[in-house]
Amino acid sequence: MSAAGEGSSERVCYSSQTVEEFQKQQLYTRGDCGNMRFAKRKRLTLADGEDSQLSAQFINPFIHELRLTALQKVKIAVMTVTLFPVRLLFAAFMMLLAWPFAFVATVGCSEDAVEPLSWWRWLVDLALKAIMRAMWFSGGFHWVRVKGRPALPSEAPILTLAPHSSYFDAIPVTRTMASIVMKAESRNVPVWGTLIKFIRPVFVSRSDQDSRRKTVEEIKRRAFSAGEWPQMMVFPEGTCTNRSCLIAFKPGAFIPGVPVQPVVLRYPNEMDTISWTWQGPGAFKILWLTLCQLHNSIEIEYLPTYTPSEEEKRDPALFASNVRCIMAKALQLPTTDYSFEDCRLAMAKGPLCLPSHTCLLEFSRLVRRLGLNGRVTDQFLHEESSRARKLCGHKLSLEAFAEYVNLPITEALQDIFALFEEHDQMDVREYVIALSVVCRPVRYLETIQLAFRMFEAEEDGAIVEDELAVILKTALGVADLTVCDVFRAIDTGDKGKITFGMYVKT
């Protein structure tokens, strides 16, 4: 992301006539990340803990690209008018059939207290499992292959499932009727909300600022109930991925410090119609394509119960990391420290959406690893931009950069420096721009305004074409970029410089 990268990526000169066209087209180079140390390979960790330098371009776990062959399209077209409507109607019928059972079982029940398992609730539980199994069967999941032994609630109060890739991951939930963590809004969805209430989930409210703490406390309360509450099924990744790797686990399920049973999910199908990521086929398209398959395979493997050590009980992040390594080894997948927060960054909507190969995901991971994200506020960014402006483009060495951010020279700090380094020096203004993007992903215009303030000349508050290229290149996290046509579209007076006001008005 340095100003004059010497990477081998292809240069692109925008041909749009206005900035608006440029923003809509989202044109950028698809090469490597400039002078990054990780230019052509991303660092992932194998299950055995060793670094794996993947020579191929890293696959963004939050994107699912589904490409169909001509034959597959023909098959889907035939199934759409034959098998799909039958399966959809039968699945809907099964949902409606399950509703009265769940409704009767939940009438008058408290969400805060567990009730004794009466014979009639046992019958309802059995009936709902049978109905749900029939629904999945009608959807093409004719056989559910199960490996390993499910642990009893007294042995492992919490089950951790990964990778989380789709709403079809509800299959193991409906097989066991285990409790899960759900959005509070789900309880108000007709039919579905009643079915959800039956498994007594932990509801999370996005409008409640204290929701995270309450969720963790509720998980702890149930985990220490000595088997009175149903087992908790938790997807510690916190979001759906394309199953190319295991992303960072959230610590919520590991804070209680109780034994957990890792459960891995596999969908060994010829065509992946299952993955439902933030960028890719939508919910209905995934449902349509899956129901158009003659058969859909799923494997559920229960791994041995993992009992945390005293050190892991004190450090939930270590506990989560070690469990993730065991699951990754069973899946033969790499792990990466990308998280749900990176997903929000990658999928943020705006005039300049980040490309799938952006270096800012790597930067975000490193910022989080160093704990820099916790201190970033609007005031902090304003102060940092003022400090960077006073340097007047003077570039810093690694030692000077460490002193600038008041951190010791560690591997993570060296990696951040390498993202912006050119000839063993970096322009700290690029670091501030990138920090603003990853910490305020939806506030694109404020980031651009902050960048203009750092680069603009004192006499007229303007920047030149090369400086605009640096700003946009850094904001996108791409290697090389020329903006000649965009700059000309803004610089209508052909003065060779533009201001932020001109940029916004164009």
Residue 328 CB contacts under 8 Å (≥ 6 apart), including other chains: 46, 47, 245, 246, 334, 335
Q: What is the number of structural domains in the chain?
A: 2
Residue 32 lies in a domain: no
Tell whether 88 and 192 lie within a shared domain: yes
Answer with the one of 317, 339, 361 that is the final residue of a domain: 339
The structure's pTM equals 0.71
Cα separation of 467 and 298, whole Å?
Answer: 52
- The amino acid at residue 307 is T
Of 109-123, 151-165, 317-331, the poorest mean pLDDT is in 109-123
Q: Residue type for 260, please?
A: V
- Of the candidates 321, 339, 357, which is a domain's last residue? 339
Residue 42: inside a domain, yes or no?
no
For the record, the structure tokens of 195 come out as 């079915």
| Predicted confidence (pLDDT) per residue in 105-127, tens digit | 887 676 666 655 567 778 888 99
Regarding whether 269 and 309 lie in a shared domain, the answer is yes
416 and 269 inside one domain: no
- Could you tell me the end-to-end alpha-carbon distance of the chain, in angstroms, rounded to an integer? 25
pLDDT at residue 38 tops 70:
no
Assess whether 196 and 215 both reside in one domain.
Answer: yes
Q: What angle do CA 312, 315, 317 make, to 5 degrees?
A: 100
Whether 8 is covered by a domain: the verdict is no
The radius of gyration computed from the CA coordinates of the chain, to the nearest angstrom, equals: 26
pLDDT tops 60 at residue 100: yes
Say if residue 383 is in the same domain as residue 279.
no
Q: For the chain, give the mean pLDDT.
A: 82
Q: What is the pLDDT of residues 428-473, one digit of tens each?
A: 999 999 999 888 887 888 999 999 999 988 888 888 888 888 888 8
Distance, CA of 190 to CA of 99 (rounded, Å)? 10
Tell me the pLDDT tens digit for each residue of 173-231.
Answer: 999 999 888 877 777 788 888 888 888 888 887 666 677 788 888 888 888 887 778 88
Range of the domain at 442: 348-504
The pLDDT of residue 76 is above 70: yes
Q: Where do the H-state alpha helices sit in 391-427?
A: 398-405, 411-420
The two most distant CA atoms of the chain are separated, in Å, by: 83
User: Which of 296, 319, 339 is the last residue in one of the domains?
Assistant: 339
**Is residue 362 located within the same domain as residue 298?**
no
Looking at the fold, whether 231 and 211 belong to one and the same domain comes out as: yes
Structure-model confidence comparison of residues 375 and 316, the more confident one: 316
